[in-house]
Structure 1
Amino acid sequence: MHDNIKYNNIKGGITIARKLRVWFPGATYHIMHRGVRRKPIFEDEMDYQVFLQILKSALIKYRCVLHAYCLMTNHIHLLLETCDMEIGKFMKHLSECYAMYVNHKYSYRGHVFESRYKSCLVEEDAYFLQTSRYIHLNPVKAQMANYPEDYSWSSYRTMIGLIDDGITEKKKTLAYFSNNAVFRYREFVEDIGHKYVVQEQHIRKMIGEDELWLPW
């Protein structure tokens, strides 16, 4: 489905247009979804665990494949491959279910997430790998962890075989590396010198992160 423009009527009779997301069966996206007004969406360990359970349920319901994720204090990153249902349905279900949990637990009212999540279509192999790296380095760049495997709420520890989170599909990612794939992937991610600065800046621009690695 390649719709381009959707027109929304807002108060006062003003009509605004926004570009619709490109979707087709098998499309892969880098997704970022932030808390409303950039407020925290995770308050304690239970919140992270509940979100992961909701994410697992959504993956099954909408037949999506998760290649990488990272849950930060006030936003999430996903590297997600769709099957035969458009990405908007998956994200609507994920956001609404978690918002219901948060509002009930903390006696909040209203939105938990910003109304429109950010997404970038991932079509090239190199971009897929760089996005996986970018997602897993979020906690390190934000100074929340010294190494990506030190952070509990991402798929990195599953990727390198320390745990199995039950939701991350790592075969496609590791298939890009020939011999000793786990070691090569770990080496690729943890090379935090200046080698990949341009790629990081490009991904950040494409996904709409307008601050450089904010410490949240």
Structure 2
Amino acid sequence: MTAARDDGVSAVMKRVGQRYVQHVNRTSRRTGGLFEGRFRSSLIETNTYLLACQRYIELNPVRASMVSVPGDYRWSSHRANALGRQDSVVTPHPLYQGLA
């Protein structure tokens, strides 16, 4: 995710987290938090590290034995990134596209 503002990603994650907790609490008739810690992010400064992070994320469902190949995971960006399939929420990174 690339932020348009310095606090963009953090602000989005805060709102998403708050809404999700409210939804779970409302539907489960409970109160309180769901997550142990706060959202954290770190800057990816090199192209090598960017590709390593992308590979790590897209292979997580395979490592967790949820699917046998990355593209089979419903929420994966692998189909858009590696296979060039259209996805309304994914814009493939030019560096990744340059690997082809």
Does the pair score TM above 0.5? yes
Q: How many residues align?
A: 98
Between the aligned partners of 1:111 and 1:173, the Cα distance in structure 2 is: 38
Higher helix share: 2
Higher strand share: 1
The 3 A distance-change label for structure 1 pair 96 and 173 is: farther
Task: Give % identity.
Answer: 34
Compare relative contact order (CA 8 Å, sep 6+) and give the higher one, 1 or 2.
1
Between the aligned partners of 1:96 and 1:133, the Cα distance in structure 2 is: 29
Q: In the alignment, what sits opposite 2:84? A: 161
SS at match of 1:149: helix
* Superimposed CA distance per residue, residues 65-117 of structure 1 (whole angstroms, 9 cap, x where no aligned partner): xxxxxxxxxxxxxxx21112414322211211222222222323211223312
The 3 A distance-change label for structure 1 pair 99 and 173 is: farther
SS at match of 1:133: helix
| From 79, 82, 98, the counterpart of 2:3 | 82
Q: In the alignment, what sits opposite 2:62? A: 140
Structure with bigger gyration radius: 1
Q: In the alignment, what sits opposite 1:96? A: 18
* Structural RMSD (CA): 1.9
What TM-score, normalized by structure 2, do the two folds share?
A: 0.80
Gaps of 5+ in 2: none
Moved over 6 A (4+): none
Q: In the alignment, what sits opposite 2:42? A: 120
SS at match of 2:65: coil
Q: In the alignment, what sits opposite 1:151? A: 73
Gaps of 5+ in 1: 1-79, 182-216
